[in-house]
Amino acid sequence: MRPCAPDTGWVPWFGLSLFVAAASAGYFYNLTFVQLGLVDLGARVLELSEGRIARAMALLAGVTLFVAVGTGLVMHRRRWSESFEIKLRLLAVVVVLQTLLTALAPLLSSEVGLIVWIVIASVGLGLGVPSLFGLTCDLVPTRHRGTVAAAVTSVAFLPAAVFSSDWRIEQFAAQLLWLMVPSAVALVILAFVPWPVTAALSGQHRLPRYGPGRFVTQDARGGLRRAFTLSLVLMFGLYFVDSLGFLRVVDTPVYMGSAWHSTDSGTLWAIGITHVIAAVLAGILYRALPQRVLLGWVFGLFALVQLSYVLHALTTPELPPTLGLPLLYAVAVSIYTVLNFSLWADFSTPATIARNTAIGVGVSGWLATFLSTSLSIWWSAIELPFAEHLRAVAAISLLLFSLCVLLFLLPERQRFHQEESS
């Protein structure tokens, strides 16, 4: 296959498969090992106080954001954003680093070791944001980004829901290493050994179907920046309310035992399949509806499910809730995850994607998730009642939902032209 790689039709499909595999594995790693595994390591293994765990997670968020934005700006200034080879090699280095850190994490025995681990891991995670998301312009055609984002979301959330019911650092490490070790070796070989297939993929971003995203407007200095900033604020809010509510829910046995930690495999499969169905629908609707409408739906769903948990906690806290609550939560999470994997690339050109994705994913994803993680741990430490916690989260969701409704009522003028690479 090597001599005829540039002339065959399987090369674009190989690129799509590579992106789906890398993105879904990275997202699965972050939402399980990093967000849940590190909290378990600090609380159960190292027996740290909730305040110390909150500060450690805030450190993770800050360093990751700083490295991600700094790397994205450097890649933009040096025009590495348009180089498929540089992004692939940087991603390979990140995967090797995170594989080593994943193997070492269960062996940590002190708070100092945890802090050192977090700083090194944050550097790797920050480097991985613009390198991974920057590959979108090289590997994913513009018109298929919603579909590919749905595939990434499905592949990440289905195993996370079905096969990760034991949320301990040792279990996460054992589960991930069997996948990360061969993947790291394969990615290093693909990135650093000359192959005709990588040479073919490196030129795809120049093709019209891989070019500027569909939200790139003619007014690059005005309209694009306003739309990007607004999307950044709303996506920050989505990640914030998700983590702020979910981490308190998973810390409450009555809600976990009947959902994500259920002994009934049917319940776990129902949650996983709901993630997949919601992701597929979101991928279809992504091209049919304005992003403000999809964001409004997600905020509305989050507010509904959070208020439902509040109602259950105030009326029948001794009884397990219905399965509808975690299923509704899964729908909201899948929709905004599809947006996260599509939105930033569609605001970008090959020349700007490293910078834009670094800012978008760094602020809305990493900063929001782990700041809300720290706040959730702190609220738990001061013994804020469950109902009050979820009521505050629902209030934030309703406020942002109202903002989306207001934005929907305002006129939207959007012309899809190519952004000037300068």
Mean pLDDT of the chain: 87
Residue 219: name the closest of 2, 417, 75 by CA.
Answer: 417
The better pLDDT of the pair 166, 186 is held by: 186
Ramachandran quadrant class, 140 (left: phi over 0; alpha: psi -120 to 50; beta: rest): beta
pLDDT at 372: 85
Model confidence over 280-293: pLDDT tens digits?
A: 999 999 988 887 88
Mean pLDDT across the stretch 76-85? 91
pLDDT at 33 over 80: yes
pLDDT at 421: 41
pLDDT at 131: 94
Mean pLDDT across the stretch 129-152? 93
Cα gap 155→317, rounded to integer Å: 34
pLDDT at 277: 96
pLDDT at 313 over 80: yes
pLDDT at 411: 62
pLDDT-derived band at 250 (thresholds 50, 70, 90) equals confident
pLDDT at 2 over 80: no
pLDDT at 210: 87
pLDDT-derived band at 1 (thresholds 50, 70, 90) equals very low
Three-state secondary structure along the chain? CCCCHHHCCHHHHHHHHHHHHHHHHHHHHHHHHHHHHHHHHHHHHCCCCHHHHHHHHHHHHHHHHHHHHHHHHHHHHCCHHHCHHHHHHHHHHHHHHHHHHHHHHHHCCCHHHHHHHHHHHHHHHHHHHHHHHCCHHHHCCHHHHHHHHHHHHHHHHHHHHHCCCCCCHHHHHHHHHHHHHHHHHHHHHHHHCCCHHHHHHCCHHHCHHHCCCCCCCCCCCCHHHHHHHHHHHHHHHHHHHHHHHHHHHHCCHHHHCCCCCCCCHHHHHHHHHHHHHHHHHHHHHHHHCCHHHHHHHHHHHHHHHHHHHHHHHHHCCCCCCCCHHHHHHHHHHHHHHHHHHHHHHHCCCCCCHHHHHHHHHHHHHHHHHHHHHHHHHHHHHCCCCHHHHHHHHHHHHHHHHHHHHHHHHCCCCCCCCCCCCC
- Residue 161 one-letter amino acid: A
The better pLDDT of the pair 9, 83 is held by: 83
Task: Enter the pTM of the model.
Answer: 0.87
Task: Determine whether 84 is exposed, middle or buried from the number of CB atoms within 10 Å of its CB (0-12, 13-18, 19+).
Answer: buried
Model confidence over 268-277: pLDDT tens digits?
A: 999 999 999 9
pLDDT at 165 over 90: no
**Could you tell me the two tokens for 214?**
């569909």
pLDDT-derived band at 202 (thresholds 50, 70, 90) equals confident
- 419, 352 Cβ separation under 8 angstroms: yes
Lowest mean pLDDT among 2-16, 42-56, 292-306: 2-16
CB neighbourhood size of 33 (10 A): 26
pLDDT at 393 over 90: yes
pLDDT at 414: 45
Quote the longest CA-to-CA distance of the chain.
Answer: 68
pLDDT at 387 over 60: yes
Mean pLDDT across the stretch 88-102? 95
pLDDT at 120 over 90: yes
Contacts (Cβ under 8 Å, ≥6 apart) of 384? none
pLDDT at 3: 46
The better pLDDT of the pair 190, 415 is held by: 190
Only one residue has tokens 């700041």, namely: 371
pLDDT at 228 over 50: yes
pLDDT at 116 over 90: yes
pLDDT at 4: 45
The better pLDDT of the pair 108, 222 is held by: 108
